[in-house]
Structure 1
Amino acid sequence: MIVVLSGLGWFLYFATAENWPLAYADLTMVVLGALGWLLIRNHQIKAALTLSEVAFLIFIVAFCLVFDVPTEANPRVSHLFLPAIALLAYFNYLREKSSFQLVVIAAALMSFIYFSSTKTAAPFAQSVPDEVRHLGIWINSTLATAMLCGGVYAIHRASTGQNEISRALRSAVRNNQLELHFQPQFDNARRIIGAEALLRWKHPRHGYIPPGNFIPIAEESGLMPLIGGWVLKEACRTLAAWQDDPVLSRLTLAVNVSANQFNVTGFEQSVLEAVELFNVDPTKLKLELTESVIISGVEPVVEKMNVLRASGIEFALDDFGTGYSSLSYLRQLPVSQLKIDRSFVQESLESPGGAALIRSIVRMGLDLDLTVLAEGIETAAQHLFLLECGCQEFQGYHFGRPVSSEDFKARALQVAG
């Protein structure tokens, strides 16, 4: 908004003076700022940050070369916005680390140094009049400083917020604020065959907090082994409660296991201890791993999985196709099920490519003698298409949303009856 308002003010000033090159340059800045603001309003934070940092970096460099040429009376000032651009890119880097963000940071800082140290200008430069530059120096210096301070504050808030959530999560485990909800899974005859246990955090003041708001922070803070251990024990407790029911005792329960949790030394023993503690049938427990577990190497992962498979526990490869997706390692991992990622399901009826990808994944899974489950099914048309492809098991809002343990039990008994 600072960019939009300041750019609009300069546009009106130069338009009134009929200095159209500068007026159009400032109008470009207004449009870029407004577009970034609209993306943020639509919750497209990543797109807004990337657009802003790249577009404004190019704009400022061009403006310094064409319009903001230093004179004997007044220095160049537009380059003072470049550290704010670098800070913006760093903020984006903290959200999602990538080499591209590092390149933007380096480009912004190097450009700042270059324009601070030289009087370089384009041969066709049209310098801002000195009478305007004298006022603009103070305005732009103030705005650049304000944006830099705002960026520092934003990073501080984000860091503080993550630390607070991390502390609150530790407290949530101790104070029984975490819950398991269950989403049903069905076979191709629409019989309920099991459920996926999904973590929910019921905060005493804020109510239910979406997993997407705390799971990434838990992973970054190293809390997933603690939280994942709680989930496994609760899943075993649930299976123990189901054992006495003739309907529920036939169901499997799938539990998500993060790479951080799986790679902890002794993970396999902790799972076996939980199974023994609650005296549950290990064949009813299914652990869902994402492809990121193999980042530390296939052999140690296979070794742990084989220990658990020997007891009867099965494995599913979750979100298949979104990670490393190598057929060579897939054949090495002792998994019994592939889960097609919801993003592929959503695209299956939107494009020929999406449909072809689903068919390929299902065919590959069947060729490897694996059960194929599609998650994220929201419509009857998606379900029908997946049936035609040969998919065997299904999960998604079309069949049922995640619900509490009591509601799931009621639903399972209703479907079975």
Structure 2
Amino acid sequence: MIVCLKIGSLVVMALALAWAGVFAWWRQWHMALAELSLTVVGLAGWLLIYSGRMNSALIVIQSALLVFVVCFTLMFDVPNAGIPRITHLYLLFLALFGYINYLRRKSKVQIGLIAACLGAFVVLSCTTYALPFARVIPDDIRSAGVWINGVLATTMMWGGVWAIQREFTRPKGMALELRNAVRNNEMRLYFQPQIDHAGMIIGAEALLRWEHPKRGQVSPGEFIPVAEEAGLMPLLGGWVLQEACKTLVDWSDDPVLSRLTLAVNVSATQFKVDDFESSLLELVGVHGVNPARLKLELTESVIVHDMEPTVARIERLRGAGIGFALDDFGTGYSSLSYLRRLPLDQLKIDRSFVRESLECERSAGLVKSIIKLGLDLGFVVLAEGIETTAQHAFLLKCGCDEFQGYLFGRPMSEDDFREHVRTATFAAADASPDLLRRAVGEIRSGNERAVN
């Protein structure tokens, strides 16, 4: 939308300059000056959008264009028996443009501008009123302007209708595609390694990816909001949990992978489904998964609403052996009162804190306090979003238990993750304890048996 507004502002300036040139050629200096004022409006809008003040830009542009169209129509575009009034057609587009902005952000000011545009359109369409001191555009210019402005106004209206249609149909279309994606096996689990303070891989976070047959890999930032709005998170989350259980079963036969935990994000709508616990426990039982290897990650927004039922649900699942982590800690409703009551196993420090930890002493002190708080409450503290060795060293010094981020591996397919774990295990074999040495030996023996 920002790109479209920038282009629209440039188009307004270009058209206004073109008409100013035409009027100047015909020595209609008052009309040329009016068009130059419209150029100023377009420039002001573009500068506001460029500076990031989008809401101000939209209101300023609409208000200025409304005043300009009304004044220009009453001053210059006076109808006669042979040539109709035409400039007021732009008011319909302004009203439509205002409605598009209203869909983006509800505003009483926006409603007022829409009403003013429609009201002015009705008045100018139904009357031939003009200002007493009007300077009517000569008919030879107006005869060409009627067609040009008529085509431009209609084209702009078509563009506005297309934008609204796209806004209304895009989420529904993607929601339908998401349903079909689960059925057509287009969803994939990717895995990002999690390591301990010694640098050993101790688990992974399962991350959902959509391999669209035509668009390629669709970003979670694009389809997750659509899934939440369409109520599809229980469907997607159920698929993720089922695939996670299958993955843990596959890993159970591997001497190294069998010791890893697998963390799965659970949305608020999925977690609050009535039969969530029974369905999950049935899934774990059917696949024969060791529940201690499965960890559910909840955000603060899931927990703070309906605290008592949420705590009871967590305790029942923890009683079965499933672990729980509080994800993105510090970005929501962080409160010691609820944190003390939550039966959690792990606290995950949000990547935004990690990213800013080395930027200033205040950010560093905040990270230290979060880690100390988590440790004092008996949680395992994991920091995510680690991208540099300096961040890792700082978090180690602060006493952080576990780590996750691009520094240790990007999200990868299951085959790539298996290879990554094996490579990391072999690389650390010489420095590893006896248990890891035995695991490496079992891997090698298994490979030799497979070859034979």
Given the two structures, how large is their TM-score scaled by the length of structure 2?
Answer: 0.76
| Per-residue CA distance 1:121-147 (angstroms, 9 max, x = gap) | xxxxxx995428995787667655543
Match of 2:98 in 1: 86
Distance 1:368 1:129 in 2: 79
- 1:23 corresponds to 2:28: no
1:330-383 per-position Cα deviation (integer Å, ceiling 9, x unaligned): 223222222222233223334555434433332332232222212121222222
CA distance in 2, matches of 1:22, 1:255: 59
**Aligned with 1:6 (options 12, 19, 24):** 12
CA contact (8 A) 2:328 2:348 kept: yes
Flag the structure with larger Rg. Answer: 2
Which residue of 2 is the match for residue 315 of structure 1? 324
Q: Percent identity?
A: 47
Tell me, yes or no, if structure 1 residue 70 matches structure 2 residue 79.
Answer: no
* Cα distance in structure 1, aligned partners of 2:235 and 2:13: 50
Please say if 1:335 is aligned against 2:339. no
Structure 1 position 367 matched with structure 2 position 371: no
**Cα deviation, residue 148, structure 1:** 4.0
Distance in 2 between residues matched to 1:330 and 1:294, nearest whole Å = 10
Q: Alignment partner of 1:131: what SS?
A: coil
Q: Could you tell me whether the CA contact under 8 Å between 1:8 and 1:30 is conserved in 2?
A: no
Using the TM superposition, name which of 79-88 and 402-411 deviates more.
Answer: 79-88
Deviations 1:232-288 (A, max 9, x none): 011111111222222212211000111111111111111111111111111111101
* 2:113 aligned with 1:108: yes
Matched, 1:224 2:233: yes
Mapped partners of 2:135, 2:375: distance in 1: 72
Q: Which moved more, 1:277-286 or 1:330-339?
A: 330-339
Q: Where does residue 440 of structure 2 map in the other structure?
A: none
CA gap of 1:141–1:102, structure 2 versus 1, over 3 A, is farther
Corresponding residue SS for 2:394: helix
Structure 1 residue 300: Cα displacement: 1.7
- In 1: Cα distance, 2:306 partner to 2:355 partner: 31
Counterpart residue identity of residue 204, structure 1: P
Give deviations 1:146-197, integer Å, cap 9, x for gaps.
4343233123223333223222222222222222111000122211111000
Change (3 A) 1:365 1:20: farther
Is 1:324 matched with 2:330?
no
3-state secondary structure, aligned to 1:324: coil
Single out whichever of 215-224 and 160-169 deviates more from structure 2: 160-169
Alignment of 1:6-405 (within 5 A): 6-14=12-20, 16=24, 17=29, 23-30=36-43, 32-33=45-46, 36=49, 50=55, 52-60=57-65, 63=68, 68=72, 70=74, 73=78, 77=88, 79-93=91-105, 101-112=106-117, 129-131=135-137, 135=142, 143=152, 146-294=155-303, 296-405=305-414
Superposed CA RMSD in Å reads: 3.4
Query: How big is the shift at 1:8?
Result: 2.0
Please identify, of 303-312 and 106-115, the stretch whose mean Cα deviation from structure 2 is larger. 106-115
Q: Could you tell me which residue of structure 1 aligns to residue 82 of structure 2?
A: none
Question: How does the TM-score come out when normalised to structure 1?
Answer: 0.82
Cα drift, residue 111 of structure 1: 4.0
> For residues 117 and 160 of structure 2, what CA distance do their matches in structure 1 show?
17
The letter for the 1-side match of 2:174 is I
Q: How many pairs does the alignment contain?
A: 395
Counterpart CA distance in 2 for 1:211 and 1:412 is 25
Measured against aligned partners, the alpha-carbon deviations of 1:93-144 in whole angstroms (never above 9, x if no partner) come to 4xxxxxxx3345324324436756899xxxxxxx995428995787667655
Q: Distance in 1 between the 2:48 and 2:74 partners?
A: 30
* Amino acid corresponding to residue 256 of structure 1 in structure 2: N
- C-alpha contact (below 8 Å) 2:349/2:382 kept by paired residues: yes
